Structure 1
Amino acid sequence: MTQTESPNDNRMYLKISWRIMPLLLVAYVVAFLDRINVGYAQLQMKQTLEFSDAVYALGAGIFFIGYLLFEIPSNLMLERIGVRRTLLRIMVCWGTVAMLMMLVQSPTQFYVLRFLLGAFEAGFTPGVLLYLTYWYPPARRARMMAIFMLGAIAASLIAGPLSGAIMKGLNGLNGWHGWQWLFLVQGLPAPILGLLAWFCLVDRPDHAAWLSEQEKARLRLLLDAEHQSAAKADHGSLVDLLRDPKVWVLSLAYLLLVAGAYAIIFWTPTLIRSWGVSDLFHIGLYASLPQMCAMLGIVLICRSSDRNRERRWHFTAGALTAASGLAVLIIAQGQLGLSLAGLCLTMLGIAALPPIFFTLLSEYLPKASLAVGIALVSSIGNIGGAVSPSVTSALNTASGDTAHSMYLVMGLYLLAAMIILTVIRPPAATLQRPVTER
């Protein structure tokens, strides 16, 4: 059953979006910075700690082990205690660990803190994705998930210049290395944002004093229409969810996405250095260019996906775009201009995939299994992030260049697209196009 939207709905959703999205977006920027800044820190840490590439790759991957173990419990706890308490706990804990990274002196300490960072941050992204389903029906969901996930792109956009400037400008201040200042400065905002989430967000639409009773009733009607859709899976229990083969296949598709994305994200600074760029600040500037392209692409592609209520082919278009960009990187053979163009194309495709994927997943899962389903798929998928930096590092070391790892990542994206096209079929209910927004 498809509900026709009205101009009043547009005003209601504009009010909702301004109330909840800015804080969630900024929090995701900080979360992603704390997740990926080790890729920039390693450029300077190698000079003081003498860690090998294998140590950094393993540390980058261990983050996702903690993520895997604690993601489902965190989402279940969110449903029980609410988003405000959950985000307060998550952000205070991960921010503290992120700052403690400045004290690392041995590989063991590095591994332990990266594990704890993943464990504490585990519930943030799946928790926010679940939270967005409380507010937005499918006709608006992909673009709102895209806006939230712009945080990752924005973080990648500013990570290079910001990290380079911190490490270069603060190096030696108070007797600390630049990489130590990097972890301190970029970890500090998380606990502050956790406190803001406690005071500024509400757990459910029914708790929003800034929505009228009429708006709350209208929102319930739009969301209830989604949950009555015949396209939903028939999960009456957790056992039914675990027995559903589509859930496991979707988990595999997401694993491939995450593996490919983190292989590119983690090695981007090293790639740019291999193209003849030596200055840390310049590496950061060049690393920000692909993110500028991705920010525009993610909004346009996801808006198109919502407008047409089509997910499979939009997902496939993103995967093919990423694979095409990687092909350009291989052909460029280190030529700076062409390599940057290939990286821009790659990031454009990569950025569009997660919001479309999780919108597709939320349309498939029924309300009863949505919290566990999102966390399960996300946690299994993040195994890819634990494995891919080490695998690509081994490939690069064995082959002496990055071409083989690029071919591997191309294959991951093409296989993910094949899985989505083969396994997911568009139900008749989603073929009805919603009324165009006024």
Structure 2
Amino acid sequence: MIPRVAKSGRSFKGAGLYYLHDKGASTNDRVAFTETVNLPTNDADRGIAHMIDTATHANQLKQQAGIKGGRPLQTPVYCYSLAWHPSETPTKAEQLEAVQATLKRLGVSDRQAVIIGHNDTDHCHVHVMVNRVCPTTGKASTMSNDRLILSDWAHEYREQRGELHFCPERKKNREKRKGGEYIKDQSPSPQDWRAWKKSQTKDIWDTFRADRAKARADRKGQYDALWQQKENRTAQRKEEIKALFKPKWRDLFKKQRYELKNFDAGFFDRLGFAMTRGGRSKIIGFLQAVTNDGALRADFVRDQEREKKQLGQEHKNRIADASREVRKAWQYDHDQLKASHEAQDQRAYDDTKAKSAEIWQERPRDKSGKDFEQTADRRKDHSKRKTIDQITREQLGEDKIREIQKKTRKRARRRKRDGGRKFEP
């Protein structure tokens, strides 16, 4: 049996939203049952509304009971929980019986309360939300030494059932306290717990980042190899196309040399070429053919050059098409490799995130390796505690404190001079 006390709060509504619903959701799947105590309804939400009404009218209740009123209670909400060992399966009646016993031991059996059973962990547990304000007198209960009281009750609860083996250290600590020895819980404080969690998760994420950095170096080699494969394929295709066009170039050069030779030596070849030129009269063409005019020969050579360029462009286009096909295949392989790496990274990220979440999910075992129920009442080290005034003076310094006090007194005098009206500095 582990009793745990939560910090007293201000809002019944806020506590109800947390205990009566799933964490971070509007559903209530984790709520196994609810029960009310000293309330005119069995509905938990309505019961909370009655508790709010009682706490709100605490001063009126005091007046009706003939009790002198005091300062308004700032923290009327008192919550604690009772948790059984994971091997135990107490019935609802047994859980309610334990709650009633703890309410009586704490001296709040006459107070309004809502009991909420949860089933979201591997051990059975209930939460108890108590209104510190008495519904008849309006007085607030004092919950001093509540942890010690609940610890003693938990020891007797186990002792009556012959189950002290669930928590062997509690008996030892109880005997030490009876002997006047102060026993402090050796389990980590919330601050130590968070620091431990952060250190553990930091190691996990550092390992993840180191693996990512190593993977990037390894993967660069894979991408470089893929690019080199593309370059080799492109060069290979160029050589294949070059071999394919080599006979065409050979035939073209051979044909043009033969045609140019006949053009220079044969009148009829020049005449036939001159007659095919547009924009000229036949007489001029005939004269150019007879005289072997240089301008006519230049036109003939230009026509041969255009023929070479046409074949060269065809050769170039074939190389471009082949290079485009090779690049398209490279891009597909590159995208596939990148997708594979991204999937690996996502799996590594999800695994790391799951490990981190698992660490934050449950509280670690304490430093001495106690079992499930080994716990003691934690008390603050009063020798190390500081007042708000001490902390403020350390942070601001004496000079700044005196300056603030001087301004405060000055504003107070001005408000008093103005008849109590608030004065804006």
Q: Same fold (TM over 0.5)?
A: no
More helix by share: 1
* Rg comparison, structure with higher value: 2
Q: TM-score range by the shorter chain?
A: under 0.3
Q: TM-score, normalised by structure 1?
A: 0.21
